Amino acid sequence: MKTLPLLAVALGFALLSPSMLVAEDVTVEVEIKSIDPTSRTITVVHGGKTTQLDFSRKVAVTIKGSPGEIGSILPGDSATVVYHKELEVVTKIDAEGKGANGWRFWDIYKKNVDPKAAFVAANDGSLVCLPNVAGYCLASLTKMSEFTLKIDFQFSGQVTKGNPFVAVASSVPNPKANDWKQQMPKGIEIKLRPDQIGELSLPKDFKVELPLGQLRDDRRVVRLREPRLQSNDWNQLEIVCDQHRNLTIKVNGTTVNAVAKAESLDGHIILFPSGVAVRFRNPIVVTDGTESPMAFDNIVTE
């Protein structure tokens, strides 16, 4: 006897004939409770019932109607899921995008970095990155290309080691790779160390035109001028990626570096503390004149 598919049982669908089970998909509105990309399961809530479902390796994910990734879906989001009855897997997830401007924690080198030991989301909304915990980063849940990022940062004491940076047009880390260079996210790095702030580090063989600062070794763009930093106080980093693929870096309102016609500005935003005691607050992305906060209160750590 053919077993009724899991979703039909769990969500209370009427019994269907075998031919109908094969011929039709189930489409249902749910709330996302959790996602486990490793076991490829998604836990949803529907009609007060909690159900764990498998999703296929070719699951089609959209966020607000735009193509997305399974890791871009946040718990608590509302979504429409399509369940293939014959295969008994979810084949499509269309999420509303609540919190799509959020962040995901990455243990870059598979060193079992504990998020609770790496950072604290403070009551004032800031992100406190604790010292001496390296090997992790935060990546935006979605890719971006034409935007302005504004984010405040503050160092706790003098920075004597580490290489903290914010990156744009970046890939996400690949912890499954065997080589650490392949595990690292690859993007345009904007250095945050006070003695380097505003300096750019480009991916290997990444093409740009007319760097405002001095281009060295085909990767390093030295900053044009040194901004005035406020020691032990908040400073603002502003990164502008425009429609012409021009990248402009400002620190406390001063333009410190820029490149024109970058090869690509499409990718994730990365926060890389590098084991340094640094705080971030008020991350805001501006697209098409609309400001969207990227709060630190719901970081995905799965």
Q: What is the pLDDT of residue 211?
A: 78
Q: Does domain 103-293 have CATH number 2.60.120.560?
A: yes
* Residues in CB range of 145: below 8 A, 6 or more apart: 169, 241, 264, 265, 266, 267
Residue 229 burial (CB count, 10 A): 14
User: What percent of the chain has a predicted confidence (pLDDT) above 90?
Assistant: 59
User: Where do the structural domains in the chain lie, given as residue ranges?
Assistant: 6-95, 103-293
Q: What is the pLDDT of residues 75-127, one digit of tens each?
A: 778 899 999 888 889 999 999 876 677 899 999 999 999 999 999 999 899 99
Q: What is the pLDDT of residue 9?
A: 47
Per-residue pLDDT band at 17 (split at 50, 70, 90): very low
Strand partners, 154: 279
Give yes or no for residue 33 having a pLDDT over 90: no
The residue among 248 and 47 whose pLDDT is bigger is: 248
Mean pLDDT of the chain: 87
Of the candidate ranges 68-72, 192-196, 228-232, 264-268, the one whose mean pLDDT is the lowest: 68-72
Q: What is the pLDDT of residue 267?
A: 95
Per-residue pLDDT band at 302 (split at 50, 70, 90): low
Give yes or no for residue 64 having a pLDDT over 70: yes
Helices (H), the chain: 6-10, 18-23, 115-118, 180-183
- Reference 21, options 13, 32, 31; nearest CA is 13
Region at 282 (left for phi over 0; alpha for psi -120 to 50; beta for the rest): left
Is residue 295 within a helix (H) or strand (E), and if so which, with residue range? none
- The alpha-carbon radius of gyration of the chain (Å, integer) is 22
Secondary structure (H, E, C), 206-271: CCCECCCCEEECCCEEECCCCCCCCCCCCEEEEEEECCCCCEEEEECCEEEEEEECCCCCCEEEEE
Give yes or no for residue 293 having a pLDDT over 50: yes
Q: What is the pLDDT of residue 191?
A: 96
> How far apart are the C-alpha atoms of 211 and 200, rounded to whole Å?
10
Residue pair 51/44 in contact by the 8 Å Cβ criterion: yes
Q: What b-and-e string marks burial along 138-157, b requiring 16 or more CB atoms within 10 Å of the CB?
A: bbbbbbbeebbbbbbbbbee
Give yes or no for residue 24 having a pLDDT over 80: no
Of the candidate CATH numbers 3.40.50.150, 2.60.40.10, 3.30.365.10, 2.40.50.320, the domain formed by 6-95 belongs to: 2.40.50.320
Tokens of 249: 């870096």
Q: What is the pLDDT of residue 73?
A: 80
Judged on CB neighbours under 10 Å (0-12, 13-18, 19+), 197 is buried
> How far apart are the C-alpha atoms of 169 and 184, rounded to whole Å?
14
Any idea which residue has 């094969």 for tokens? 22
- Reference 63, options 72, 54, 55, 71; nearest CA is 72
Per-residue pLDDT band at 74 (split at 50, 70, 90): confident
Q: What is the pLDDT of residues 139-169, one digit of tens each?
A: 998 889 999 999 999 998 777 788 999 999 9
Q: What is the pLDDT of residue 18?
A: 44
Residue pair 162/97 in contact by the 8 Å Cβ criterion: no
Q: What is the pLDDT of residues 218-276, one digit of tens each?
A: 688 999 889 999 888 899 999 999 999 999 999 999 999 999 999 999 999 999 999 99
Tokens of 68: 């997305």
pTM score, whole prediction: 0.76
> How far apart are the C-alpha atoms of 117 and 167, rounded to whole Å?
23
Could you tell me the CA-to-CA distances from 52 to 62, 174, 181, 246, 301 in Å, in that order?
20, 26, 36, 45, 19
